[in-house]
Amino acid sequence: MLGLKIGQYLNDKGIKQAYLVNKTGLPAYVVSDICTGKRRSVDAVVYYKICTALGVDLDYFLREGGGTDEN
């Protein structure tokens, strides 16, 4: 799931969800729900905002194994 990959990326990089809240303007509960996989239906614009805030392309998370430092 894309949201879980983003959540794992945050954990791996030591980035707090609050950073995404501040950079994207999304409510904290939305960011939390995305990163934990609780929110499954997410607008592409939201993913764009998150990726822009993290400085990565969406493709980074879409690649097989993307969002981890193992690949």
Alpha-carbon torsion (5, 35, 9, 55), positive or negative: positive
Whether domain 2-62 has CATH 1.10.260.40: the reply is yes
Q: Label residue 70 by pLDDT band (50, 70, 90).
A: very low
pLDDT in tens, 18-44: 999 999 999 999 999 999 999 988 899
**Dist. CA 60–CA 28, nearest whole Å:** 23
Residue 41: the pLDDT is 86
Q: Residue ranges per domain, the chain?
A: 2-62
Q: How confident is the model at residue 5 (pLDDT cuts 50, 70, 90)?
A: very high
pTM: predicted TM-score of the whole model, two decimal places? 0.82
How high is the mean pLDDT of the chain? 89
